[in-house]
């Protein structure tokens, strides 16, 4: 497989898993890695939270060797706190530190961080410059197309990030105003690729191996990043790998295989967080894993009661039976 280099960190040119707060936790990331995700990014970590010594924030920084190549992602609105947080991340030895300039959530944007930084490029530039000075690893930036349709500035903005020392830029082809609705504009990703010399990671609406190949072809991006397309199907990365390599797809997973993968994912989550919290957090994943199966609607209703692993084992058995009878 071809590889790309982000500031000397080699990454297979297949597909990366996008950072997703409250979704792509360690168990989720490791499942995607098992199926071939080339690069993983943490959930966003508050620079201020880290600086103030918040324990929950610090826990998010641990790096599991199996996750490499792996980025820790910071969000923050000012250069001093992001620089300090980048320095503090050094002891966790991430391969890359990514800075979030794409989050559209009001709580984040309201403080001037996330995608709000696309409206204040001078501040964004300073943040990157200071983070680069303080980090022992490459620093990258994740952006959107722009703030709204009247202020699409991703190409110029990415150029400034490059000048500030960023080693790569990931572009989600939506504006902040779009949040997650409408369609990602892959033309903006292509325009960013034209504007900079650092690697460009394309992101937005890749939900199949074919879509991944299309994004590479249409945008010229160096790496594709998949977020929601991996919901309930970490094996999308295996499909992408095979498709890019051979132009064919691996055989479709059977319901039984899918349920086994779901149970393995659950055990990993329980190992991380204990049965109570693990099962609570697994609920949304269960709904994604059974999507499209007979009996999915009934199981969705039962999911809110899910507190023990043995319940899920029983549900999985029932799903297999239901979906394999004639
Ligand atoms: C639930 C959820 C959480 C997200 N959290 C983050 C985050 O922490 N940091 C970030 O840069 N982007 C975050 N994103 C944006 C994704 O990384 C990605 O840019 C977006 O979902 C578009 O890609 P997709 O169409 O492949 O899902 C999040 C998206 C979702 C749906």
Q: How far is CA 305 from CA 258, 272, 276, 300, in A?
A: 21, 21, 11, 10
* Ligand 1, atom nearest to 144 Cα: 19
* C-alpha–C-alpha distance, residues 97 and 254, integer Å: 38
**What pLDDT score was predicted for residue 1?**
82
Diameter over CA atoms, the chain: 63
DSSP letter for 114, please: G
What are the pLDDT digits (tens) for 25-66?
Answer: 999 999 999 999 999 999 999 999 999 999 989 889 999 999
**What pLDDT score was predicted for residue 6?**
98
Cβ-based burial of 269 (10 A; exposed 0-12, middle 13-18, buried ≥19) = buried
User: What is the average pLDDT across 261-282?
Assistant: 97
DSSP letter for 60, please: T
Residue identifier of the C-alpha nearest atom 13 of ligand 1: 20
CA atoms within 13 Å, Cβ hemisphere of 132: 18
User: What is the average pLDDT across 204-213?
Assistant: 98
* C-alpha–C-alpha distance, residues 66 and 193, integer Å: 30
* Ligand 1, atom nearest to 226 Cα: 26
Residue identifier of the C-alpha nearest atom 3 of ligand 1: 20
User: What is the average pLDDT across 80-105?
Assistant: 98
pLDDT at 325 over 80: no
With the most atoms of ligand 1 within 8 angstroms of its CB, the residue from 17, 20, 96, 116 to mutate is: 20
Alpha carbon of 172 to ligand 1 centroid (Å): 9
Alpha carbon of 75 to ligand 1 centroid (Å): 13
Percentage of the chain beyond pLDDT 90 is 97
**What pLDDT score was predicted for residue 264?**
98
User: Which protein residues are within 6 Å of ligand 1, measured from CB?
Assistant: 18-21, 23, 43-44, 73, 100, 102-103, 142, 172, 180, 203-206, 226-229
Percentage of the chain beyond pLDDT 70 is 99
Stated pTM of the model: 0.98
User: What is the average pLDDT across 227-236?
Assistant: 98
With the most atoms of ligand 1 within 8 angstroms of its CB, the residue from 200, 215, 227 to mutate is: 227
With the most atoms of ligand 1 within 8 angstroms of its CB, the residue from 24, 124, 172 to mutate is: 172
Cβ-based burial of 91 (10 A; exposed 0-12, middle 13-18, buried ≥19) = exposed
User: What is the average pLDDT across 238-257?
Assistant: 97
Q: Which of the residues are catalytic? A: 103
* Ligand 1, atom nearest to 172 Cα: 19
State how far Cα 136 lies from the chain centre: 22
**What pLDDT score was predicted for residue 170?**
99
Q: Which residues are 17's β-sheet partners?
A: 226
pLDDT at 326 over 90: no
pLDDT at 313 over 90: yes
* Ligand 1, atom nearest to 207 Cα: 26
Cβ-based burial of 122 (10 A; exposed 0-12, middle 13-18, buried ≥19) = exposed
Residue identifier of the C-alpha nearest atom 28 of ligand 1: 20
Residue identifier of the C-alpha nearest atom 1 of ligand 1: 20
CA atoms within 13 Å, Cβ hemisphere of 278: 21
Least confident of 47-56, 133-142, 183-192, 232-241: 47-56
Alpha carbon of 233 to ligand 1 centroid (Å): 16
* Ligand 1, atom nearest to 225 Cα: 26
């Amino acid at each position: 497989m071809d590889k790309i280099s982000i500031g000397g960190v080699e990454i297979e040119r297949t597909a990366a898993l996008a950072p997703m707060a409250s979704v792509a936790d360690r168990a989720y990331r490791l499942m995607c890695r098992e199926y071939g995700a080339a690069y993983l990014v943490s959930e966003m970590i508050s620079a201020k939270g880290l600086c103030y010594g918040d324990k929950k924030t610090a826990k998010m920084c641990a790096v599991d060797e199996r996750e490499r190549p792996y980025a820790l992602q910071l969000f923050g609105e000012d250069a001093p706190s992001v620089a300090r947080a980048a320095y503090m991340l050094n002891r966790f030895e991430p391969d890359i530190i990514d800075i979030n300039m794409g989050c559209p959530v009001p709580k984040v944007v309201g403080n001037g961080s996330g995608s709000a930084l696309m409206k204040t490029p001078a501040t964004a530039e300073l943040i990157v410059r200071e983070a680069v000075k303080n980090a022992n690893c490459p620093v990258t930036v994740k952006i959107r197309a722009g703030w709204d349709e009247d202020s699409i500035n991703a190409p110029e903005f990415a150029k400034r990030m490059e000048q500030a020392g960023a080693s790569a830029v990931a572009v989600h082809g939506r504006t902040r105003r779009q949040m997650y609705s409408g369609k990602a504009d892959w033309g903006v990703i292509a325009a960013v690729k034209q504007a900079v010399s650092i690697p460009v990671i394309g992101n937005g609406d890749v939900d199949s191996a074919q879509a991944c190949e299309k994004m590479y072809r249409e945008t010229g991006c160096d790496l594709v990043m998949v977020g929601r397309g991996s919901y309930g199907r970490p094996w999308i990365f295996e499909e992408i790998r095979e498709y890019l390599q051979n132009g064919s797809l691996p055989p479709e997973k059977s319901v039984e295989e899918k349920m086994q993968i779901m149970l393995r994912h659950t055990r990993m989550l329980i190992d991380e967080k204990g049965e109570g919290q693990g099962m609570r957090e697994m609920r949304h994943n269960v709904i994604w894993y059974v999507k499209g199966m007979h009996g999915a609607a009934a199981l969705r209703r039962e999911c809110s009661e899910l507190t023990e692993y043995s319940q899920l084992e029983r549900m999985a058995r029932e799903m297999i039976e239901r979906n394999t009878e004639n």
